[in-house]
Amino acid sequence: MFKSHYKLERYSIGLAIAIIVVASIGGIVEIAPLFTIHQTVEEAPGMRVYTPLELAGRNIYIREGCYACHSQMIRTLRDEVERYGPYSLAVESQYDHPMLWGSKRTGPDLARVGGKYSDQWQVTHLNNPRDVVPESVMPAYPFLKETELRIDDLPEHLATLRKLGVPYTDDMVANAVSDAYGQAVPDSPQAKGVKERYGEATDVRAFDGDPGMVTEMDALVAYLQILGRLTDAAHKQEAVTGGIK
């Protein structure tokens, strides 16, 4: 073994090829089957996609680096299930490009934060977290409420995601701008189309409390309020297994 290495280390190309081969095996064995083994991702018929407004909110979540302190992945541990809700399923992030499972909880997990707090609470909290949680160390984001949301490029966003396999329809892509506006301005004529395209259960309201302008706050709160609610697969699973005790 050492004799043959004594030879190998005299050839730079040979060494390079050997490194590539040796370093490729682990990745191939662990990653490739995740695309082929059917059970990797559960079935969730009826799971809906993010609305354009929620997608824009998700991109703000990414932009601000929220994932650095908040996970979106409830592990299969009793205390996590009791603290945050049913453990996360792979299917719940099947449309997430990229996933935001996170790696650190300086703040709590957000996988099921949707519907847990009112819009009002979320807006106050994002504006200055210490107004509602005095001990919080989260940064304040007062500019979100002042900043108009960019919605003109949302059709491109949806079209790109569709190319990657997210089931947006032609109708959804074509009406992305109108839907983003309508979801945050409930009295506008655009509001009606949102529920038609994304389902009756879709939240259509002025998330930031002000129906005048569609702000980044609208988008981010809309996103936070849908977290964990795109499908009820995890709750069904819990009903079957009785959770973790």
Size of the site for other proteins (CB under 8 A): 88
Q: What's the closest the beta carbon of residue 138 comes to other proteins, in angstroms? A: 7
Q: Which of 38, 45, 163, 242 binds other proteins (CB under 8 A)?
A: 163
| Burial letters 20-29, b for 16+ CB under 10 A, else e | eeeeeeeeee
Q: What's the closest the beta carbon of residue 211 comes to other proteins, in angstroms? A: 24
Considering all CA atoms of the chain, what is the largest pairwise distance in Å, rounded to the nearest integer? 80
Q: Is 36 in the site for other proteins (CB under 8 A)?
A: no
Q: Is 167 in the site for other proteins (CB under 8 A)?
A: no
Asked if 69 contacts 106 with a C-beta cutoff of 8 angstroms, the reply is: yes
Q: Using the Cα atoms of residue 26, residue 37, residue 241 and residue 227 in order, give the sign of their dihedral.
A: positive
89 Cβ neighbours under 8 A, 6+ residues apart: 42, 44, 233, 234, 237
125 Cβ neighbours under 8 A, 6+ residues apart: 117, 131, 132, 133
Site for other proteins in 37-76 (CB under 8 A): 37, 39-41, 59, 62-69, 71, 73, 75-76
Number of other CB atoms surrounding residue 160 within 10 Å? 13
Contact range with other proteins by CB under 8 A, out of 79-87, 168-176, 221-229, 235-243:
79-87
With 0-12 CB in 10 A as exposed, 13-18 as middle and 19+ as buried, what is 86? buried
Contact range with other proteins by CB under 8 A, out of 116-124, 157-165, 173-181, 187-195:
157-165
Q: Report which residue type is found at 73.
A: M
Cβ closest to other proteins, residue 64 vs residue 238: 64
Q: Is 79 in the site for other proteins (CB under 8 A)?
A: yes
Candidates 143, 142, 66, 148; CA nearest to 107 is: 66
Asked if 222 contacts 54 with a C-beta cutoff of 8 angstroms, the reply is: yes
Q: What's the closest the beta carbon of residue 192 comes to other proteins, in angstroms? A: 27
Site for other proteins in 206-225 (CB under 8 A): none
Q: What's the closest the beta carbon of residue 186 comes to other proteins, in angstroms? A: 28
Q: Which two tokens stand for residue 131?
A: 């107004």
Cβ closest to other proteins, residue 42 vs residue 210: 42
Q: Which of 136, 177, 210, 229 binds other proteins (CB under 8 A)?
A: 136
Contact range with other proteins by CB under 8 A, out of 43-51, 129-137, 171-179, 196-204:
129-137
Cβ closest to other proteins, residue 35 vs residue 46: 35
Q: Is 242 in the site for other proteins (CB under 8 A)?
A: no
Site for other proteins in 87-116 (CB under 8 A): 87-108
Q: Is 27 in the site for other proteins (CB under 8 A)?
A: yes
